[in-house]
């Protein structure tokens, strides 16, 4: 009869998991599909051409001839002597061209044998060079890094690693074909970011972790936390009066392309928070599912408490990761402020630092909210006990209720009393010998 009861509980749990998966997947997928169709870019990218009239070419440096650097004003920064001269480059089509080396302060050094990128202006005016040496060609190093990364992920993760790589590819495709072109065409950045994040979340999570109840709860937890992050971002940006213009790139996007820089800041916070939220929500959902499988008698309350303890430890480390990531990205700026010897109060209130602080605080609040939300959802689905049953006393985690029709097992105290009674019933000699032994 106990086996029948356990089988019935497992059936109810499986049925509940299927219903939860369908209840999450179908509405979210339909809403995301409608948003993608509505906001999909129409292909008008004339304004996004940064180098109109220039053609990008690749080639190999065959020779470099250094020359003395020109004498400029005494107060002007001196260029690197290794950047003054001319370079001969053989293009991929076999043509050889000669051009001046970039000699502005901070320009890169070029040597014979380097793979380089050139810009060709076919309609250059007389006296203006038609070819300009732009940068090193990093195609080969990037391919090598990509192959090493792929092999490492597949060797360790096997099939799961392969699905993770497929999810990463889908993420890049959505970013490059939907999010970035949609923002460049003037679509609302926040709406584009929400639709893109939802599409990435649904596709990547289910592709990587399968159509399970734990994945569905992770999706729900991510969506709820992402919504909270978006609302908090909107409130904090308005409260701190941030407009998203903190560097030349944002200024150019706002002035030349008429892009809503404040909405662009909101979109960057949402997309940036999605990656870390996926980590937290999937970890919590899988942890609760494993706890329920290892302890079938655990009810909702005990699963929630155990999962929350894991989540608190995870959040404590993730917060440090977020702060260090933002500090590392802003390290040159922090060094510049340190050289300027500005007071700390003035540094913290600059738009650049305030924006990063707002981004860190809002992302952290979203992560903190993701733990209880996802843990509660996963515990609700993973608990195998009937709703009318009560949790076991917290002091005895190994106590299990007896199956119907069976006598409860004797406790340790009853075992000791029975042993004492047996010892007292023995003859004196045997009792004394037993006591000595």
pLDDT tens figures, 90-146: 888 888 888 888 877 777 888 888 888 888 877 767 667 778 888 888 888 899 999
Q: How large is the average pLDDT for residues 322-350? A: 70
Is residue 267 within 8 Å of residue 191, measured between CB atoms?
Answer: no
Of 303-317, 327-341, 397-411, highest mean pLDDT: 303-317
- Position 236 pLDDT exceeds 80: yes
Q: How large is the average pLDDT for residues 369-391? A: 73
Q: Give the start-to-end residue ranges of the domains of the chain.
A: 2-41+187-382, 54-70+80-139
Looking up tokens 């959505």 gives 174
Ranges 111-125, 268-282, 328-342, 355-369: which has the least confidence = 328-342
CA dist 53 → 46, 50, 56, 120, 255 (Å) = 12, 9, 10, 8, 21
- Position 149 pLDDT exceeds 90: yes
Is the Cα dihedral 281, 285, 290, 295 positive or negative? positive
pTM, two decimals, is 0.67
Ranges 22-36, 146-160, 244-258, 362-376: which has the least confidence = 244-258
Q: Which is nearest to 181 in space by CA: 288, 238, 257?
A: 257
More confident residue, 272 or 54: 272
Adjacent-strand bridge partners of 98: 88
Tokens found for residue 282:
């999937």
CATH 2.40.100.20 for domain 54-70+80-139: no
* Rounded Cα–Cα distance for residues 150 and 170 (Å): 15
Q: How large is the average pLDDT for residues 259-283? A: 82
SS (H, E, C) the chain: CHHHHHHHHHHHHHHHHHHHHHHHHHHHHHHHHHHHHHHCCCCCCHHHCCCCCEEEEEEEEEEEEECCCCCCCCCCCCCCHHHCEEEEEEECCCCEEEEECCCCCCCCCCCCCCEEEEEEECCCCCCCCCEEEEEECCHHHHHHHHHHHHHHHHHHHHHHHHHHHHHHHHHHHHHHHHHHHHHHCCCCHHHHHHHHHHHHHHHHHHHHHCCCHHHHHHHHHHHHHHHHHHHHHHHHHHHHCCCCCCCHHHHHHHHHCCCCHHHHHHHHHHHHHHHHHHHHHHHHHHHHHHHHHHCCCCCHHHHHHHHHHHHHHHHHHHHHHHHHHHHHHCHHHHHHHHHHCCCHHHHHCCHHHHHHHHHHHHHHHHHHHHHHHHHHHHHHHHCCCCCCCCCCCCCCCCCCCCCCCCCCCCCHHHHHHHHHHHHHHCCHHHHHHHHHC
The CB density around residue 253, as the number of other CB atoms within 10 Å, is 19
Q: How large is the average pLDDT for residues 255-264? A: 69
Q: Where residue 155 falls among pLDDT bands split at 50, 70, 90?
A: very high
């Amino acid at each position: 009869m106990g086996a029948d009861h356990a089988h019935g509980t497992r059936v109810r749990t499986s049925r509940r998991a299927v219903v939860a998966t369908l209840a999450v997947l179908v509405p979210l997928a339909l809403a995301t599909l409608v948003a993608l169709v509505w906001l999909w870019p129409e292909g008008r990218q004339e304004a996004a051409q940064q180098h109109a009239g220039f053609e990008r070419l690749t080639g190999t440096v065959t020779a470099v001839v250094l020359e003395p650097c020109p004498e400029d004003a005494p107060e002007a920064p001196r260029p690197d002597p290794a950047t003054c001269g001319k370079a001969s480059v053989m293009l991929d089509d076999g043509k050889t061209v000669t051009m001046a080396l970039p000699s502005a302060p901070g320009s890169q050094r070029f040597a014979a044998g380097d793979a380089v990128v050139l810009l060709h202006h076919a309609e250059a005016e007389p006296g203006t060079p038609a070819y300009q040496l732009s940068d090193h060609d990093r195609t080969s190093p990037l391919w090598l890094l990509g192959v090493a990364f792929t092999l490492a992920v597949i060797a360790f993760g096997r099939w799961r690693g392969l699905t993770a790589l497929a999810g990463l590819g889908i993420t890049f495709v959505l970013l490059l074909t939907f999010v970035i072109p949609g923002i460049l065409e003037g679509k609302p950045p926040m709406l584009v970011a929400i639709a893109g994040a939802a599409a990435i979340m649904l596709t990547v999570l289910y592709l990587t972790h399968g159509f399970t109840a734990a994945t569905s709860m992770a999706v729900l937890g991510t969506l709820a936390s992402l919504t909270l992050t978006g609302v908090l971002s909107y409130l904090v940006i308005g409260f701190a009066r941030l407009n998203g213009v903190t560097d030349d790139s944002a200024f150019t996007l706002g002035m030349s392309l008429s892009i809503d820089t404040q909405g662009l800041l909101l979109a960057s916070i949402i997309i940036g928070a999605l990656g870390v939220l996926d980590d937290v929500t999937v970890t919590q959902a899988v942890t609760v599912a494993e706890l329920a499988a290892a302890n079938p008698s655990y009810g909702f309350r005990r699963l929630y408490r155990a999962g929350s303890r894991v989540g608190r430890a995870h959040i404590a480390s993730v917060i440090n990761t977020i702060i260090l990531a933002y500090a590392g990205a802003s390290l040159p700026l922090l060094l510049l402020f340190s050289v300027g010897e500005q007071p700390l109060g003035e540094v913290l209130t600059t738009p650049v630092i305030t924006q990063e602080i707002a981004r860190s605080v809002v992302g952290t609040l979203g992560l903190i909210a993701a733990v209880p939300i996802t843990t509660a959802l996963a515990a609700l689905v993973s608990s195998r006990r009937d709703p009318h049953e009560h949790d076991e006393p917290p002091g005895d985690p190994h106590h299990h209720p007896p199956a119907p029709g069976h006598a409860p097992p004797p406790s340790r105290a009853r075992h000791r009393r029975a042993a004492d009674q047996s010892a007292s019933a023995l003859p004196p000699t045997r009792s004394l010998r037993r006591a000595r032994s």
